[in-house]
Structure 1
Amino acid sequence: MAQLLHQLVFVLVIFHFSMATDTLYPNQSLQDGQTLVSAKETFALGFFSPGSSKNRYVGIWYNKLQEHTVVWVANRGSPLASTNGTMELNNNGTLTINSMIFLPMPSVNLTTPVAQLLDNGNFVIREAINSSEYAWQSFDYPTDTLLPGMKLGWDLTTGLNRNLIAWRSNDDPSAGPYAVSMDPRGDPQLIAWSGSVKSWRSGPWNGIEFSNIPEMSNYKGFQFYFVNNKDEIYYMYDMTDPTIVTRLMVNQSGMVERFMWIESASSWYLFWYAPKSQCDQFSPCGPNGLCDLNGWPRCSCIQGFTPKSPQAWALSDASLGCVRRTELDCRNKSDGFLTISHTSLPETSMALVDMNISSLDECRATCLTNCSCTAYASADIRAGGTGCIIWVTDLIGLGRRYPNTGQDFFVRLAAADLASMSSKSSKKKIVVLITVCSVAILFLSLIGICAWRMKMRKASVAQNHEEEELSKEDELELPQIQWNTLMAATANFTAENILGEGGFGPVYKGKLADGHEIAVKRLSRNSSQGLNEFKNEVILMAKLQHRNLVRLLGYCIQGEERMLVYEYMPKGSLDLFLFDNEQRGHLDWQIRLQIIEGIARGLLYLHRDSRFRIIHRDLKASNILLDNEMNPKISDFGMARIFGENDTLTKTRKVVGTYGYMAPEYAMEGIFSVKSDVFSFGVLVLEILSGQRNSGSYCSESHPYLLENVWRLWNEGKALDLLDPLIGNLFLVTQVTRYINIGLLCVQGKPEDRPTMSSVVVMLSNNDTPLPNPKPPGFTPIVSARPDPTQNPPDKLR
């Protein structure tokens, strides 16, 4: 009886410890299956296996949320192979897992050490009698996530560098190639790394926010901190609204993301991410280039500078940047300054900072006395501007922002360039006066000319009218490339250079004199839709910039010839790989995931983050192009439509697109919305997973329509039978099932049942997000669809 009582007491103690306590005491072990839970039950610490991995790790996760979201991993590089792991706290204050020390531990012995999990997610080692000082804390060794109260940056006294490093995969929390860290040099800033390459930067702290994140000042419920002194340089945030649950992280593709927990949806919402656009990249326009979010082309040279390679610049390749027209003259002190307003500041790692300078005038004078100074700006924009940043190198990453954001930036120019700019301004005023007088003198003549043009327009056919409109460069907003240049690049459009031929004409491979490879789409003269599609694509593509959209470099109009010039995509279109039995073997599981996620981000940009809300209307495998690294880029915007911010759906009399990818409400009734693109994306996902062409399926028992087949397999619990056998065995069953689920959610029959692309991106990037069960897909089989007389074979643009 006594023995039984002792056993019962032992079980109760273990149960109490595993479910309620937040503290680990010396020589007490936390075994696999037990957890520490913080006092308010906000966070839990224990052993876990990520994704479908069988390895065991010690981590910290949100305890009350429906999703199992891990925010810290202790032994990310040293997993356990079995479930017999234990974590112990030794008498000297050292934590071990299976007797092995896994992180730097306190170098001083503690009298009475305890390890405690706090309600902010920090796991600390401290003296039992002094809870305010920590000998060690997990916040000093973050993994991929920054929680409120965590510091991201340097402890200069100890040399500790707190940075974020992405998981290698959803099943492997070991350090991947992507990271975010504080660059302490010059004027400190956050840098996102892809291996050893800088991919994004926050810009320096201006007293209110980071220069390249102007939206920070609009965040409600947040308190941001930036500390830069002799002991520490770090960024940190806290929440003034305790009901907000948020986390900042770097994901497995290198994106910096902030998530907010939405209780009503029981899921994470992607609140902010970077980089978002071309101007968010580390050096979007090369040295001394200016990236303008509101302009086109996005890149231009700072006034007083000229492209280093004019030919590359004409094709929107700004990587070489710009050089000065006139060298500075420090000896005679004749240089002046050009003011650029509403800017994000350029790269500051080599800049000089003096916080003791109290005004812009003093900062200007300091720059003029330094012969190496190329530009200056206020270090702190509060109270009219204090402190001084001086650049002594080329200006990298300078960007003009939206009105009411950014700050004034002052670029040093030679007197001759400043005088030339002033002269141009005066000439413009004179031209205006002359124009006004000319208008008054020629008024009657213009009335006659206008009347004649109206008559000619009425007599002209629609094709001539379109050509007249398309010849206006101010509307197209793209560089017009000379006919002779394209003739030389394509060897007079020889047949050997044809990459493929689509509905609007052949596509040629070309090489410019400087070695740049291009793809030239030459519109067919016999195409009834060519002019409209040409105009639509040029105007839309001129306003869109994203890593997952193919880049339109320019256009050419020569008589009846109309051509579009694109960046060359060496791997060609996705359908060339996906529906070819030999090529499909090159698409392993990771590449297919990369393609799916890239297409999703490109669509999200079109639907939500671009200057205009765009519906593509012809998303299909042949319109997905692949670069050398098999990154996808959405192409062919001839059928795309701009959608109003307040519009939910619209209707067209003319249904265009490709059957098999069309949403049923669009194919049958001409009704389209962003959910039409979501349907097409879902078809693409299922094609990529299966290697089967939906638009080429037949409605028969031996050749079922792909969506019908997927739906049948899903309901029979045989979804894995859909998977392309050429993928091999290097995939995760749970991940395959999840992606099929997402594909089916996107192709549901009713538009209101389909998720938005923002929800799809969250589903794809977070394997812990629960997915609803899909409803039946919308079936639009080929045999029941009315033929489109204008439909031609898909473009094979590479």
Structure 2
Amino acid sequence: MESAKLVLLSLLLFWHQTCSGSHDTIAANESISDGSLVISRGGRFALGFFSPGSSSYRYLGIWYHDIGEQTVVWVANRNDPITGTSGILTGHGYCNLFLYSNSSSKLPLWSANVSAGSNGTCVAQLLDSGNFVLKEGASKRITVWQSFDYPSDTVLPGMKIGLSRRTGLSSFLTSWRSEDDPGIGNFSYKLKPSASPQLFMYQGTIPYCRGAPWQWERSVPWPWESNHDFFNDTFDNNEDGIYYSTAIMDSSVYMRAVVDPSGILKSMTWDEGDGRWKAFYASPKQKCDFYGTCGPNSKCDPSIVFPYECACLPGYEPRFPKKWHLRDGSGGCVRKRAEATSICGEGEGFVRVEKVKLPDTSAAVWVGLGTSKLNCEGECRKNCACSAYATIDIGGKGIGCLQWHGAMMDTVDFPLRAYDLYVRVDALDSSGFVEFKLKISIIVPSVVSVWIVIALLAYLWLRKWKKRRETSEATKDIKHSTTIYPELPFFNLGTIQAATNNFSPTTKLGQGGFALVYKGRLPNGQEIAVKRLSANSRQGLEQFRNEVLLIAKLQHRNLVKLHGCCIEEEEQMLIYEYLPNRSLDLFLFDRKGGTVLDWTRRFSIIVGIARGILYLHQDSRFRIIHRDLKTSNILLDGELNPKISDFGMAMILEADQVHGKTASIGGTYGYMSPEYAVFGKFSEKSDVFSFGVILLEMITGKKINRVYSEDDNLNLITYVWERWKEEKALEVVDSSMEGSLNAQEVLKCIQIGLLCVEEDVQDRPNMSMTVLMLNTAMPLPRPKQPGFPGTSCFNKSRGAAEGSFSVNEGQEWFGNPACSDSFDGPIIAWSHSAAG
């Protein structure tokens, strides 16, 4: 009997050891439950379920396993706690990880959200670095997911904080809500990559404190590096990404950095003797550590407490003198001579401010490498938007020239790891820079043939003169428009450069055939979208002029608002309202974005677009044909309300004019009506056709320029048409709208879409009737044969299906009476042109 008990006890102990999980891996289709642990091979870290502080909730996390104090470094289900001890983590056969609140739950609380390997080829492993990795492949060497890419509040040695250029993934820290709640708190610590990258602590979305701009030259140790022999900081900026990381030189040292719930970043090491964590660095801890303590254009000196830490930069004075003397410098500083709004070209100079943490580089731009201080100053002097500059040794790659455009925020006296800042001042504040010295720096000749230099200058002058003449003509038209419509302001180039970080790539929103679009912020805080015409684009200049002259006259809630324009030097720019959700196509054709648009929201967008077009056709001062309506030209505001944009190809019809013709056909294949694409004939009905295509895309979630049946070579229009004839129209509806569908309303919209894309121009409804059909329960006519492509006329040429056709193919079409009887346009060769 006793021996039987011993055998049973041994079995129970073996079962407990097996199920408690002392191994470091979770294989495909294995799981761990609450009470089990995954322990890294060297025993440094453990993964399992825990309750933080005095909380009774359970979370899946990683903590140090071999020290006396449980220190959690990563949490999976931060905002989704588990009640009770029924949690279970499962390794999925198709290379994924799922966390469930209990074994019978169908919906996971958390997932690694990857799908990389084939069944049975993946394993999850906890490493001695604290990184929990998911690997696939026969050798298990390919990492498809890792916890280091998704930090909680802690950064460990080897972990990267920054941005991946390959995946777009941003890795950053977020504080816990409290010691008892690991949910995402108010503070985040992340890398801001623009200009010279910097690490920011944010409180919500507001900067809370800031590290020094990217330290390329590491000859001077960090402030906390009195014991820097045991770890090394690294900054990487390459094709893979832009990152900050720390490596431990002594593997016996336990080190971590954490953002605590109060927003303090602490770097700590474990003191084995005292059995506790000791902080060797913490920030913010003094007044100058907080972002913008002294406001713009000032300097904060932490070594001075009395009379005041704040001082204005050279050439500036307190914005609010009374508050300044009461030791409130948050208003910052302004130019001493307010009437001198510009000090450009008025004998100005530069004053050196020594050994500072350089200002926030969000308002700075790199001018280039391999330049000298003298050349950097010369470049700044030539740019009226440049308010200061600094030269930085780029890690042995040469000298970099960094310029600030606009206000300088958060400059701090910083004896260690510091640079000199050169602030632009007017002639009265200048330190007496010799003008001759500047001229020498700009004119310094590379001693080559003088005649080559003269010829080159002559060529550049002629090119600039020609460009200015074209710009002058455009300016006359536009300024004439602003005489009639004075509400359209002109912006100066310096303002727009400052607003967009000198058109930094990080502010770029997108581009079209003739323009780039950037996000910007004006000095008053207003966000804008800047459409910058591509250089040397004659066609773009014509569209620019057309767009300004037209949109200045338009005011409607479903049309994008034009704030003004900028025509200066060789730049032509349109300044629009900034719409945070960008364009409709980014939502509609993205698998994740499409789920945001349920049917109610889509129908609201459809009606908004229709009302905007109706305004153009009927209610505005002129009858305007847009000619380039498509989902990428429908922008969405913060509430997902649609606004029609891009009027560069728009045409005006006279009051008694039914249609117009043009030999300059441009637009996007698929959205263009057949009579416009082939014959250059446009009318209100050509915009109606484009609206019909957009409506069908909204319902199906599919793009017009795709083949949806290989056997029949059907595009979206003919695909929907065939299903409609078979009374199977609901089969075309976007599956992401399941649960929100109003079948009767959807069928009505499909029918309206098919009516709008009918082949015969006369059969299509106008926009007034289309809006009426959308908003009422009136009986609708049965749709007829849809237009191009998919009809007998326009299937004559496969070239058209590819976006272009030749003159001969056009003649073949015109030879078909069924195709050409109703048109008298010229025979032309047309090619696809995706405009702006």
TM-score (normalizing by structure 1): 0.50
Of structures 1 and 2, the one with the larger relative CO (CA 8 A, separation 6+) is: 1
Larger radius of gyration: 2
